[in-house]
Amino acid sequence: MYELYHLALNEETDEKQELLFTISLVDDDPLFIMQMKDYLTSMKITDIRTYASGEEFLNAFKETEMNLVVCDFDFGSADRKNGLEVLEEIKKRNPQTPVIMLSAQDNIAVALQTLKKGAVDYFIKGTQNAFTSVLTSILKINELQRMKKTEKDYITTLVAGSAGAIIIIAILLYNLYK
């Protein structure tokens, strides 16, 4: 993960961050969306989509795509789904999709509620380190996903190799005892 930080902070390279997923920013505040997108882009994260509401995101959400969602908790209207409802719908459709929740509310009960419903992190908007906290979480989640993928590939190779060895042994035993 440290090499990802180095890559992100090294201004001399044009190399992009290779993430395993698309970043989806879901927030009704266009200024916040623009600032977060600009910050992530400056850190060489470029596969970013933006949505002004939970409904807009959910309409575009494809369960088969690898997404990491950064979602606001409060969309400011009773007519819209709140971030918790968006989180619940995402987890219903694809429980593996990581969701980072953001809120202007410095409320531990809200944070715990979102984490219990499956959010991987909760950050307070407007704090000095909110953007770097989101970046750190994205990089951490990406590295965990990469490790899971590597482990899965290793196990598949191991099983395939074991199956091949079993077949060879069976053929040798068959030829030995026929």
Q: What is the pLDDT of residues 46-77, one digit of tens each?
A: 899 999 999 999 999 988 888 899 999 988 77
> What residue numbers bound the domain in which 103 lies?
2-149
Environment class of residue 94 by beta-carbon count within 10 Å: exposed (0-12), middle (13-18) or buried (19+)?
middle
**Residue at 58 is within a domain:** yes
**Residue at 172 is within a domain:** no
**Residue at 163 is within a domain:** no
pTM attached to this predicted model: 0.76
Question: What is the identity of the amino acid at 77?
Answer: S
The chain-wide mean pLDDT, for the chain, equals 82
Count up the domains in the chain and report the number: 1
Question: What is the identity of the amino acid at 171?
Answer: I
Average pLDDT rounded to a whole number, residues 88-112 = 91
Look up residue 139 and give its two tokens. Answer: 């990089």
Environment class of residue 121 by beta-carbon count within 10 Å: exposed (0-12), middle (13-18) or buried (19+)?
buried
- Contacts with 150 (C-beta within 8 Å, 6 or more apart), sequence order: none
- CATH code assigned at 10: 3.40.50.2300
Look up residue 54 and give its two tokens. Answer: 């939970």
